[in-house]
Amino acid sequence: MSNSTGNTLVAVLTGVVIGAGLGILYAPDKGSKTREKIKDGYDDAKNDLQNKFDTVSSQFNDKLTYAKFDLEETYEEIISNMSHKTEEVISFLEEKLAELKRQNAKLQK
């Protein structure tokens, strides 16, 4: 989540909490009912924030897992390519060695 999106989310949640609190405080209810409504509003906001945190945390973990998998896959690809290149170099050197041996055999005759 980008920084501006996070700031916007915090600002909206803060506005909702303040607005709900002011609405409850100015409502014509008994004190006990008002306190109960404030507590319920707080619990709802807390649960909502916890759910959002859990969602963001889960998304972050998913992305981290995918990045790790992608890195491992890339590493395996590099190792495989290097192995093929090594085989090509060995084959090339073996051919050159065989050619040098043939040339040396001609010179020794």
Q: How far apart are CA 89 and CA 76, in angstroms?
A: 20
- HEC string for the chain: CCHHHHHHHHHHHHHHHHHHHHHHHCCCCCHHHHHHHHHHHHHHHHHHHHHHHHHHHHHHHHHHHHHHHHHHHHHHHHHHHHHHHHHHHHHHHHHHHHHHHHHHHHHHC
| pLDDT for res 63 | 85
Q: Please work out, in degrees rounded to the nearest 5, the angle formed at the alpha carbon of residue 68 by the alpha carbons of 65 and 73.
A: 125
| pLDDT for res 94 | 92
| pLDDT for res 2 | 60
**Inter-CA distances, 101 with 49, 88, 93, 96, 104, Å:** 77, 20, 12, 9, 5
Residue-by-residue pLDDT tens, the chain, 109 positions: 567 777 888 888 888 888 877 776 777 767 777 778 778 888 888 888 888 888 888 888 888 888 888 888 888 888 888 888 888 888 899 999 999 889 888 888 7
